[in-house]
Amino acid sequence: MDRLTLMATFVKAVELGSFSAVADELNLSPQMVGKQVKMLEQHLGVSLLNRTTRKQSLTDFGRTFYQRAKLILADMDAAEEMAAVTRGVPSGRLRINAPVTFGVSSLSPKLLEYMVRYPQVSVDLTLSNELVDLVDGGYDAVFRIGELADCGLKALPLMPYQMVLCAAPSYLARRPPITTPWDLQEHECLAFAYSDGRSHLRFEGPEGCIDVPIKSRLTINQGDPLLSGAVAGLGVVMLPLELVKDSLRSGTLVTLLPQYKVPVSPMNLLYAPDPRLTPKLRSFIDFVRVAFG
Protein backbone atom coordinates (compact mmCIF):
# COMPACT_ATOMS: atom_id res chain seq x y z
CA MET A 1 0.00 0.00 0.00
CA ASP A 2 1.42 3.43 -0.93
CA ARG A 3 2.75 5.71 1.76
CA LEU A 4 0.40 8.60 0.93
CA THR A 5 -2.63 6.39 1.64
CA LEU A 6 -1.10 5.30 4.95
CA MET A 7 -0.30 8.91 5.79
CA ALA A 8 -3.85 10.04 4.98
CA THR A 9 -5.30 7.32 7.21
CA PHE A 10 -2.99 8.33 10.07
CA VAL A 11 -3.93 12.03 9.72
CA LYS A 12 -7.64 11.10 9.77
CA ALA A 13 -7.08 8.99 12.89
CA VAL A 14 -5.53 11.98 14.66
CA GLU A 15 -8.23 14.43 13.56
CA LEU A 16 -11.23 12.17 14.22
CA GLY A 17 -9.85 10.68 17.43
CA SER A 18 -10.58 6.98 16.87
CA PHE A 19 -10.10 4.18 14.37
CA SER A 20 -13.84 3.50 14.30
CA ALA A 21 -14.60 7.10 13.26
CA VAL A 22 -12.01 6.84 10.47
CA ALA A 23 -13.49 3.50 9.42
CA ASP A 24 -16.95 5.07 9.07
CA GLU A 25 -15.61 7.94 6.96
CA LEU A 26 -13.37 5.85 4.71
CA ASN A 27 -15.71 2.85 4.49
CA LEU A 28 -13.14 0.51 6.04
CA SER A 29 -13.16 -1.75 9.07
CA PRO A 30 -11.55 -0.42 12.28
CA GLN A 31 -9.13 -3.36 12.04
CA MET A 32 -8.02 -2.23 8.56
CA VAL A 33 -7.51 1.34 9.80
CA GLY A 34 -5.37 0.03 12.67
CA LYS A 35 -3.43 -2.16 10.24
CA GLN A 36 -2.65 0.81 7.99
CA VAL A 37 -1.40 2.92 10.90
CA LYS A 38 0.72 -0.03 12.07
CA MET A 39 2.18 -0.44 8.56
CA LEU A 40 3.16 3.24 8.58
CA GLU A 41 4.81 2.85 11.98
CA GLN A 42 6.71 -0.23 10.77
CA HIS A 43 7.89 1.64 7.67
CA LEU A 44 9.11 4.56 9.81
CA GLY A 45 10.50 2.32 12.53
CA VAL A 46 8.96 4.43 15.29
CA SER A 47 5.62 4.64 17.15
CA LEU A 48 3.18 7.38 16.18
CA LEU A 49 0.30 6.69 18.57
CA ASN A 50 0.01 5.56 22.19
CA ARG A 51 -3.02 3.28 22.19
CA THR A 52 -5.07 1.84 25.04
CA THR A 53 -8.48 0.18 25.04
CA ARG A 54 -10.10 3.54 25.89
CA LYS A 55 -8.14 6.23 24.09
CA GLN A 56 -5.26 7.10 21.84
CA SER A 57 -2.71 9.91 21.99
CA LEU A 58 0.18 11.07 19.84
CA THR A 59 3.75 10.25 20.74
CA ASP A 60 6.23 13.14 20.62
CA PHE A 61 7.42 11.99 17.21
CA GLY A 62 3.83 11.34 16.14
CA ARG A 63 2.93 14.95 16.88
CA THR A 64 5.76 16.23 14.68
CA PHE A 65 5.05 13.69 11.93
CA TYR A 66 1.34 14.62 11.94
CA GLN A 67 2.14 18.26 11.14
CA ARG A 68 4.51 17.29 8.33
CA ALA A 69 2.09 14.72 6.93
CA LYS A 70 -0.68 17.35 6.76
CA LEU A 71 1.61 19.62 4.74
CA ILE A 72 2.58 16.79 2.39
CA LEU A 73 -1.06 15.83 1.78
CA ALA A 74 -2.00 19.49 1.23
CA ASP A 75 0.82 19.79 -1.33
CA MET A 76 -0.49 16.70 -3.10
CA ASP A 77 -3.99 18.22 -3.23
CA ALA A 78 -2.51 21.41 -4.66
CA ALA A 79 -0.55 19.48 -7.26
CA GLU A 80 -3.64 17.56 -8.32
CA GLU A 81 -5.56 20.83 -8.60
CA MET A 82 -2.83 22.21 -10.89
CA ALA A 83 -3.28 19.18 -13.11
CA ALA A 84 -7.04 19.68 -13.00
CA VAL A 85 -6.62 23.29 -14.12
CA THR A 86 -4.54 22.12 -17.05
CA ARG A 87 -7.14 19.52 -18.01
CA GLY A 88 -10.07 21.80 -17.26
CA VAL A 89 -11.83 18.97 -15.40
CA PRO A 90 -13.37 19.71 -11.96
CA SER A 91 -11.58 17.45 -9.48
CA GLY A 92 -10.02 17.48 -6.02
CA ARG A 93 -11.37 18.32 -2.58
CA LEU A 94 -13.81 21.21 -2.19
CA ARG A 95 -14.05 22.70 1.31
CA ILE A 96 -17.31 24.54 2.06
CA ASN A 97 -18.82 26.23 5.13
CA ALA A 98 -22.51 27.06 5.57
CA PRO A 99 -24.98 27.99 8.35
CA VAL A 100 -26.54 24.94 9.99
CA THR A 101 -30.22 25.34 9.05
CA PHE A 102 -29.51 26.34 5.46
CA GLY A 103 -26.91 23.59 5.17
CA VAL A 104 -29.24 20.85 6.41
CA SER A 105 -32.51 21.87 4.77
CA SER A 106 -31.37 23.43 1.49
CA LEU A 107 -27.71 22.91 0.63
CA SER A 108 -27.19 19.24 1.47
CA PRO A 109 -29.86 17.89 -0.92
CA LYS A 110 -28.51 20.05 -3.75
CA LEU A 111 -24.94 19.09 -2.93
CA LEU A 112 -25.74 15.49 -3.79
CA GLU A 113 -26.76 16.63 -7.28
CA TYR A 114 -23.46 18.50 -7.63
CA MET A 115 -21.41 15.44 -6.63
CA VAL A 116 -23.27 13.21 -9.08
CA ARG A 117 -22.59 15.73 -11.85
CA TYR A 118 -18.89 16.03 -10.94
CA PRO A 119 -17.75 12.59 -9.74
CA GLN A 120 -14.08 13.60 -9.50
CA VAL A 121 -14.82 16.26 -6.86
CA SER A 122 -14.97 15.30 -3.17
CA VAL A 123 -16.62 17.66 -0.68
CA ASP A 124 -15.87 18.61 2.92
CA LEU A 125 -18.94 20.49 4.22
CA THR A 126 -18.76 22.15 7.64
CA LEU A 127 -21.97 23.51 9.17
CA SER A 128 -21.60 26.31 11.71
CA ASN A 129 -23.62 29.33 12.77
CA GLU A 130 -20.51 31.25 13.77
CA LEU A 131 -18.79 33.57 11.32
CA VAL A 132 -15.74 31.74 9.99
CA ASP A 133 -12.72 33.14 8.18
CA LEU A 134 -12.49 31.71 4.67
CA VAL A 135 -8.70 31.94 4.49
CA ASP A 136 -7.81 30.93 8.05
CA GLY A 137 -10.37 28.11 7.96
CA GLY A 138 -8.96 26.75 4.70
CA TYR A 139 -12.30 26.96 2.89
CA ASP A 140 -12.83 27.31 -0.84
CA ALA A 141 -16.28 28.87 -0.42
CA VAL A 142 -18.44 30.11 2.46
CA PHE A 143 -22.19 30.78 2.50
CA ARG A 144 -23.00 33.91 4.52
CA ILE A 145 -26.45 35.13 5.59
CA GLY A 146 -26.85 38.79 6.53
CA GLU A 147 -25.28 42.07 5.55
CA LEU A 148 -21.67 41.79 4.38
CA ALA A 149 -18.78 43.77 5.77
CA ASP A 150 -15.95 44.73 3.40
CA CYS A 151 -13.84 41.57 3.72
CA GLY A 152 -11.92 41.65 0.43
CA LEU A 153 -13.68 38.53 -0.87
CA LYS A 154 -15.74 37.95 -4.00
CA ALA A 155 -19.48 37.64 -3.28
CA LEU A 156 -22.07 35.88 -5.41
CA PRO A 157 -25.52 37.25 -4.41
CA LEU A 158 -28.06 34.48 -3.88
CA MET A 159 -31.79 34.27 -3.26
CA PRO A 160 -32.67 36.25 -0.08
CA TYR A 161 -33.35 34.21 3.04
CA GLN A 162 -37.11 34.36 3.62
CA MET A 163 -38.38 34.05 7.21
CA VAL A 164 -41.89 33.14 8.42
CA LEU A 165 -43.60 33.88 11.75
CA CYS A 166 -45.69 30.90 12.85
CA ALA A 167 -47.04 28.85 15.75
CA ALA A 168 -48.93 25.62 16.41
CA PRO A 169 -52.75 25.69 16.55
CA SER A 170 -52.53 24.04 19.99
CA TYR A 171 -50.54 27.00 21.31
CA LEU A 172 -52.80 29.62 19.72
CA ALA A 173 -55.94 27.94 21.10
CA ARG A 174 -54.93 28.63 24.69
CA ARG A 175 -53.44 32.12 24.29
CA PRO A 176 -54.79 35.59 23.39
CA PRO A 177 -55.19 36.27 19.65
CA ILE A 178 -52.29 37.78 17.69
CA THR A 179 -53.62 40.52 15.41
CA THR A 180 -50.73 43.01 15.50
CA PRO A 181 -46.98 42.62 16.08
CA TRP A 182 -47.32 44.30 19.49
CA ASP A 183 -49.48 41.38 20.69
CA LEU A 184 -46.31 39.25 20.65
CA GLN A 185 -45.16 40.97 23.85
CA GLU A 186 -47.80 38.93 25.69
CA HIS A 187 -46.66 35.63 24.17
CA GLU A 188 -43.92 33.07 24.64
CA CYS A 189 -41.41 33.16 21.79
CA LEU A 190 -38.76 30.70 20.65
CA ALA A 191 -35.56 32.39 19.52
CA PHE A 192 -32.52 31.63 17.40
CA ALA A 193 -29.35 32.18 19.42
CA TYR A 194 -27.26 33.77 16.64
CA SER A 195 -29.54 36.65 15.70
CA ASP A 196 -31.16 39.83 16.97
CA GLY A 197 -34.37 37.78 17.19
CA ARG A 198 -33.43 36.75 20.72
CA SER A 199 -34.71 40.07 22.06
CA HIS A 200 -36.93 41.60 19.38
CA LEU A 201 -38.70 40.93 16.09
CA ARG A 202 -38.91 43.36 13.18
CA PHE A 203 -41.85 43.83 10.80
CA GLU A 204 -42.84 46.15 7.98
CA GLY A 205 -46.47 47.22 7.84
CA PRO A 206 -48.70 50.10 6.75
CA GLU A 207 -47.28 52.24 9.56
CA GLY A 208 -43.66 51.55 8.59
CA CYS A 209 -40.96 49.52 10.32
CA ILE A 210 -41.88 48.02 13.72
CA ASP A 211 -39.45 46.64 16.32
CA VAL A 212 -41.23 44.52 18.93
CA PRO A 213 -39.42 43.48 22.13
CA ILE A 214 -40.11 39.80 22.94
CA LYS A 215 -39.57 37.30 25.72
CA SER A 216 -37.61 34.24 24.60
CA ARG A 217 -38.68 31.23 26.61
CA LEU A 218 -36.43 28.89 24.60
CA THR A 219 -33.23 29.96 22.81
CA ILE A 220 -31.33 27.48 20.63
CA ASN A 221 -28.52 27.85 18.10
CA GLN A 222 -30.11 25.50 15.54
CA GLY A 223 -33.37 25.64 13.62
CA ASP A 224 -34.58 22.02 13.83
CA PRO A 225 -35.02 21.97 17.65
CA LEU A 226 -36.84 25.30 17.44
CA LEU A 227 -39.16 23.82 14.82
CA SER A 228 -39.84 20.84 17.10
CA GLY A 229 -40.59 23.19 19.99
CA ALA A 230 -43.00 25.23 17.91
CA VAL A 231 -44.82 22.13 16.63
CA ALA A 232 -45.09 20.92 20.25
CA GLY A 233 -46.89 24.17 21.15
CA LEU A 234 -44.15 25.85 23.19
CA GLY A 235 -44.55 29.24 21.55
CA VAL A 236 -44.25 31.54 18.54
CA VAL A 237 -41.22 31.21 16.30
CA MET A 238 -39.69 32.96 13.29
CA LEU A 239 -37.87 30.44 11.08
CA PRO A 240 -36.73 30.12 7.44
CA LEU A 241 -39.50 29.25 5.00
CA GLU A 242 -37.48 26.29 3.71
CA LEU A 243 -37.51 24.75 7.20
CA VAL A 244 -41.20 25.23 8.04
CA LYS A 245 -42.92 24.80 4.66
CA ASP A 246 -43.84 21.13 5.27
CA SER A 247 -45.31 21.95 8.70
CA LEU A 248 -47.31 24.82 7.20
CA ARG A 249 -48.56 22.54 4.45
CA SER A 250 -49.66 19.86 6.95
CA GLY A 251 -51.27 22.38 9.32
CA THR A 252 -49.07 21.56 12.32
CA LEU A 253 -47.99 25.20 12.13
CA VAL A 254 -49.91 28.24 10.86
CA THR A 255 -48.60 31.55 9.56
CA LEU A 256 -49.11 34.60 11.78
CA LEU A 257 -49.57 38.25 10.80
CA PRO A 258 -49.49 37.66 7.02
CA GLN A 259 -50.43 41.32 6.47
CA TYR A 260 -47.02 42.33 7.86
CA LYS A 261 -43.80 41.77 5.96
CA VAL A 262 -40.84 40.14 7.65
CA PRO A 263 -37.56 41.66 6.41
CA VAL A 264 -35.57 39.17 4.35
CA SER A 265 -31.85 38.55 4.94
CA PRO A 266 -29.42 38.77 2.03
CA MET A 267 -27.38 35.63 1.33
CA ASN A 268 -24.08 35.39 -0.53
CA LEU A 269 -21.49 32.82 -1.52
CA LEU A 270 -18.03 34.13 -0.66
CA TYR A 271 -14.77 33.01 -2.26
CA ALA A 272 -11.25 34.36 -2.71
CA PRO A 273 -10.72 36.92 -5.51
CA ASP A 274 -8.38 34.70 -7.57
CA PRO A 275 -8.65 35.50 -11.29
CA ARG A 276 -7.66 31.89 -12.10
CA LEU A 277 -10.38 29.89 -10.39
CA THR A 278 -9.82 26.17 -10.21
CA PRO A 279 -12.28 24.10 -12.27
CA LYS A 280 -13.77 22.60 -9.09
CA LEU A 281 -14.53 26.02 -7.56
CA ARG A 282 -15.76 27.49 -10.83
CA SER A 283 -18.08 24.51 -11.32
CA PHE A 284 -19.43 24.91 -7.77
CA ILE A 285 -20.02 28.65 -8.19
CA ASP A 286 -21.91 28.04 -11.44
CA PHE A 287 -23.94 25.25 -9.79
CA VAL A 288 -24.85 27.46 -6.80
CA ARG A 289 -25.81 30.34 -9.10
CA VAL A 290 -28.44 28.11 -10.74
CA ALA A 291 -29.56 26.30 -7.58
CA PHE A 292 -29.84 29.31 -5.23
CA GLY A 293 -29.42 32.40 -7.40
Mean pLDDT of 42-46: 86
Please write the tens of the pLDDT for every residue from 242-255.
Answer: 889 999 999 999 99
3-state helix/strand/coil string of 211-240: EEECEEEEEECCHHHHHHHHHCCCCEEEEE
Please write the tens of the pLDDT for every residue from 84-103.
Answer: 555 678 888 999 999 888 89
Considering just the CA atoms, what is the radius of gyration of the chain in Å?
Answer: 24
151 versus 272: the higher-pLDDT residue is: 272
pLDDT at position 257 over 80: yes
pLDDT at position 196 over 70: no
pLDDT at position 267 over 70: yes
pTM for the structure as a whole:
0.62
pLDDT of residue 146: 82
pLDDT of residue 174: 92
Q: Determine how many CB atoms are found less than 10 A away from the CB of residue 95.
A: 19
**Is residue 59 a contact partner of residue 48, using CB atoms and an 8 Å limit?**
yes
How much is the mean pLDDT over the chain?
A: 86
- Which range in 37-41, 138-142, 214-218 is most confidently predicted, on average pLDDT? 138-142
CA-based angle 255:256:257, to the nearest 5? Answer: 130
**Is residue 284 a contact partner of residue 140, using CB atoms and an 8 Å limit?**
yes
Query: How many residues in total does the chain contain?
Result: 293
Mean pLDDT of 246-266: 90
pLDDT of residue 4: 83
pLDDT at position 170 over 80: yes
pLDDT at position 82 over 70: no
pLDDT at position 204 over 70: yes
